[in-house]
Chain A
Amino acid sequence: RKEVEQDPGPFNVPEGATVAFNCTYSNSASQSFFWYRQDCRKEPKLLMSVYSSGNEDGRFTAQLNRASQYISLLIRDSKLSDSATYLCVVNSPGGGADGLTFGKGTHLIIQP
């Protein structure tokens, strides 16, 4: 069974702080990984892909740990505008649309 697990939060973090959250996946053969961002009552949007070597995009860093089967997202110098729900997405063997599993999301609240 495909499973992607996330801590639902909410994570309450003061502005300017660093916050990190993880996502675990159950299928060891999963092939590709992504973080999406979803604002309240809006549609999800791709934030970043997660590469095996880890990758950074400005204040955001994503990492993959295949041995422990989790991916992480780290946000540095957090801004009020970072408040959102962050969805972990995993693409498993067979690929295609039915291989893409969304986590339930982690709710992040940046406080002034």
Chain B
Amino acid sequence: NAGVTQTPKFQVLKTGQSMTLQCAQDMNHNSMYWYRQDPGMGLRLIYYSASEGTTDKGEVPNGYNVSRLNKREFSLRLESAAPSQTSVYFCASSEVSLNLSGELFFGEGSRLTVL
């Protein structure tokens, strides 16, 4: 039961470096999401993809780009990492649109530190 798989689980970057977080789900879900979670803050949506071929900005998209490669995969790219992007990143998926169901299935998270 893989569910939602994220890689890498841990990463340390220097300011200005780039990297891509990978996410794949095996539940045949239509929608996929990237959130970040910071101490003292709730989960905040970075980008989402309601269906294959579409992506939309969430609450905090600046400094990030995404690609919905196919139905299974949704990647998050940091083009020029900044210390403010130090966070735990969660990928999630859902079977149906979230206005019908609030059930998100999350990956285990990717802990990113930018020095």
Closest to B49 in A: A97
The stretch that binds A, out of B18-26, B62-70, B78-86, B105-113, is B105-113
Q: Which of the four size classes fits the interface of chain B?
A: 20 to 34
Q: Tell me whether A97 and B56 are in contact (CB under 8 A).
A: yes
Closest CB-CB distance, A7 to chain B, in whole Å?
13
How long is the Cα–Cα vector from A49 to B56 in the complex, in angstroms? Answer: 26
Is the C-beta of A109 less than 8 angstroms from some C-beta in chain B?
no
Once A and B bind, how many residue pairs between them come within 8 Å at the CB atom?
A: 69
Is the C-beta of B114 less than 8 angstroms from some C-beta in chain A?
no
> Can you sample 11 A-B contacts with CB below 8 Å?
A34-B102, A34-B103, A43-B106, A44-B43, A45-B106, A46-B103, A89-B102, A96-B99, A97-B58, A100-B102, A100-B104
Q: Which of the four size classes fits the interface of chain A?
A: 20 to 34
Closest CB-CB distance, B109 to chain A, in whole Å?
6
Is the C-beta of A62 less than 8 angstroms from some C-beta in chain B?
no
Interface residues of B in 85-102 (CB under 8 A from A): 90, 97-99, 101-102
List residues of B whose CB falls within 8 A of some A CB. 31, 33, 40-45, 48, 50, 56, 58-59, 90, 97-99, 101-104, 106-109
Closest to A50 in B: B102
Most A-side CB within 10 Å, residue of B44, B56, B104, B106: B104
A91 neighbours in B (Cβ, 8 Å): 98-99, 102
B42 neighbours in A (Cβ, 8 Å): 4, 87, 101-105
Not counting A34-B102, A44-B104, A100-B45, a sample of 6 additional A-B residue pairs whose C-beta atoms are within 8 angstroms of each other reads: A42-B108, A43-B90, A44-B90, A96-B50, A97-B45, A97-B56
A101 neighbours in B (Cβ, 8 Å): 42
